[in-house]
Chains A and B, each alone.
Chain A
Amino acid sequence: AQKVTQAQTEISVVEKEDVTLDCVYETRDTTYYLFWYKQPPSGELVFLIRRNSFDEQNEISGRYSWNFQKSTSSFNFTITASQVVDSAVYFCALSAGVSGNTPLVFGKGTRLSVIA
């Protein structure tokens, strides 16, 4: 069975602070894909990143960075110099298996509040 755990339910930071959102996943498949989505108050889930299990390189995109560690089954997301516009609910998701027939499993999300 596949599972995604986002242990942090809510995080509150002051603008310009760095913040890391944790994501721990479980799967027995060796081939899998991990995703992060952002859900602002408007409701739409905005795609941030997709990473497959064979690519362990960390990724940086502007103020966003992702740390993928297979040894700890984690795919953590860091926002550097947070801004008020970063306030949203962030979801980590897992698609396991080489066939792509297993539905995405989402974590329960982490609500990030960035205070000016």
Chain B
Amino acid sequence: ETGVTQTPRHLVMGMTNKKSLKCEQHLGHNAMYWYKQSAKKPLELMFVYSLEERVENNSVPSRFSPECPNSSHLFLHLHTLQPEDSALYLCASSQGGRFFDTQYFGPGTRLTVL
């Protein structure tokens, strides 16, 4: 089992759909992260959960809604997205919840919004 898994790997959705991205870490870590990677832009931090508590919400539109039911699972619920939300969404985890702790990433979900 690889360290951080994400499903689905690819997702195409219309602007009126509701979908969820799932992330699972098998490393025994205490913190999990969502990042957005758009073409020709640096990685953008979206949300951070440490010990299942949200500690960072980086001015993300409310159409993105995270959920962390336990330290191993992280979800990103999507609704009423816009075409500009098309991107690679990466999940990461780290042992501690501090940003200087090494983050380990999953393979990402490639999202296309039509």
Q: Is B45 an interface residue (CB 8 A)?
A: yes
Let me know if B110 and A100 touch, CB within 8 A: no
The complex places the Cα of A101 from the Cα of B42 at a distance, in Å, of: 19
Q: Is A64 an interface residue (CB 8 A)?
A: no
Chain A interfacial residues counted at CB < 8 A: 25
The complex places the Cα of A32 from the Cα of B98 at a distance, in Å, of: 12
Instruction: Name the distance in Å between B73's Cβ and chain A's nearest Cβ.
Output: 18
The complex places the Cα of A3 from the Cα of B82 at a distance, in Å, of: 29
Instruction: Name the distance in Å between B102's Cβ and chain A's nearest Cβ.
Output: 5
Q: Give the dominant DSSP class at B's interface.
A: loop
Instruction: Name the distance in Å between B36's Cβ and chain A's nearest Cβ.
Output: 12
Question: Which of B40, B43, B100, B107 has most chain A Cβ within 10 Å?
Answer: B100
Instruction: Name the distance in Å between A95's Cβ and chain B's nearest Cβ.
Output: 4
Let me know if A100 and B90 touch, CB within 8 A: no
Contacts of A47 in B (CB 8 A): 102-105
Let me know if A100 and B100 touch, CB within 8 A: yes
Let me know if A95 and B99 touch, CB within 8 A: yes
Q: Is A102 an interface residue (CB 8 A)?
A: yes
Q: Is B58 an interface residue (CB 8 A)?
A: yes
Closest to A98 in B: B100
**Interface flags, A18-61, vs B, CB<8A=1, else 0:** 00000000000000110101000011111100101000000000
Let me know if A101 and B107 touch, CB within 8 A: no
Contacts of A37 in B (CB 8 A): 105
* Other-chain residue from B40, B96, B108 in contact with A43 (beta carbon distance below 8 A): B108
Contacts of A77 in B (CB 8 A): none
Contacts of B40 in A (CB 8 A): 108
The complex places the Cα of A104 from the Cα of B110 at a distance, in Å, of: 22
* 19 A-B residue pairs with CB within 8 Å: A32-B100, A37-B105, A43-B110, A44-B105, A45-B105, A50-B102, A91-B43, A95-B100, A100-B98, A100-B101, A102-B99, A103-B45, A103-B48, A104-B45, A104-B99, A105-B42, A108-B41, A108-B42, A109-B42
Give 8 nearest A-B pairs by CB, closest first: A100-B98, A45-B105, A43-B108, A44-B107, A95-B100, A33-B100, A106-B43, A100-B100
